[in-house]
Amino acid sequence: MNLVDISRKRYSVRAYLAQKVEPSKINYILECARLAPSACNMQPWFFYIIESEEAKGIVRRSYDREWFKTAPLYIVVCGDHSQSWKRNRFDNKDHCDVDVSIASEHLCLAVEDLGLGTCWVCNFDKNMLSEALNLPEHIEPIVLFPIGYVDEENSAVPEKKRKLLSEISKRL
């Protein structure tokens, strides 16, 4: 399968089987994310792999949705603001979120490549999660990824609604 096929097939999964994700698959996902580009190659990301019941309880409290609780694995992608590149010369923009997003999308596509499912989750209680995971002030949780085998019987594949290429691009 090529990247366009993987991108077309991927969707936000909201139903997972209880089956554990194998360590080799978790390592593949993390390796794909690790290889992502970042501003000045600073790689200001850190991945918390949430597998224990205690840690899963913490993550689930930060985003209390029934479908979210069905995932057997979570990856909390954090940004390290002490290591991110800042565009100091012009406007001091911190590229942490940009870099973490690039790595996160690599992660997301790797999950799809393995035939697993995931969903970007950004609507969570960041402060509660930071405190519960005892994160230092310069480490910010940016996105949660529930990951697992898709429960096909309870997972609705939504229609992909995307703008036309002509609506989002212009050749000059």
One of 3.40.50.11540, 3.90.1150.10, 3.40.109.10, 2.40.30.10 is the CATH number of 3-151, namely: 3.40.109.10
Tokens 């973490």 map to which residue?
100
Domain limits of the chain?
A: 3-151
pLDDT band of residue 34 (cuts 50, 70, 90) is very high
CA distances 162 to 156, 159, 172, Å, are 18, 9, 23
Structure-block tokens of residue 131: 């405190």
Cβ–Cβ under 8 Å, residues 29 and 110: yes
pLDDT of residue 4: 92
Q: What is the pLDDT of residue 35?
A: 98
What pLDDT does residue 158 have?
86
Mean pLDDT of all residues in the chain?
A: 96
Give tens-digit pLDDT for 114-144.
Answer: 999 999 999 999 999 999 999 999 999 999 9
Cα–Cα distance between 120 and 72 in angstroms, integer? 16
